[in-house]
Amino acid sequence: MKNAILVPGRPDKNQHYDPSLPSNSEGYWFSWLKRQLILNDIQANAIEPPMPFRPRYEEWKKEFERFDITNETVLVGHSCGGGFLVRYLSEHKDLKVGKVYLVAPWINPDDNALSETADFFHFKIDPNFARRAASVTVFVSSDDYPDVVKTVDILAEKVPDLDIHHYNDRGHFKEKLFPELLDLIIS
């Protein structure tokens, strides 16, 4: 059975603890996308690691691996979640997956200590990780945070076979709906 694992990004601490906001896995377009995938007979789950505002790789990995990962699994990561997928796929060289979508991926390219990512992004990007997926699509907008644009530049330089979709007006892709992403997943 085809399934999808959605990996949200790193919220700010105040966002995480704000009771008026949805949980990280339900924010932006995640809730909408999850429902749309289920309506298309794709079992969809979003990870919810503890204290995502200060990501720790082993905690995210444990939460991610609760779900089946097969050669048909669709992986979707936003921001830090996209960076997590790059690391996970880089470190699991025997794993073959379905389509992978990196939305405004971020790997803390300048190792900014204020991001509280500890060793989350201390890894070597495997230039062949995209070859072990059915496809890898990257969404980036020129008006996003500079370190996200820099992350995509690094990925484009190091990893062949990426399908990069460029925008000029989407910022950090924080909309409630993301029809372009859905269309690519179900096509």
Digit-coded pLDDT (tens) for 136-148: 999 999 999 999 9
Give the 3-state secondary structure percentages of the chain, helix then strand then coil, rounded to 5. Answer: 35, 20, 45
Q: Please give the domain boundaries of the chain with CATH numbers for all domains.
A: 3-186 (3.40.50.1820)
Q: Residue ranges of the chain with pLDDT lower than 70?
A: 1
Distance CA 9, CA 81 (A): 4
pLDDT reported for residue 54: 94
Distance CA 100, CA 86 (A): 10
pLDDT reported for residue 114: 77
Within 10 angstroms of residue 22's Cβ, the number of other Cβ atoms is 12
Three-class SS of residue 149? helix
Digit-coded pLDDT (tens) for 107-138: 999 888 878 888 899 999 999 999 999 999 99
pLDDT reported for residue 118: 86
pLDDT reported for residue 111: 87
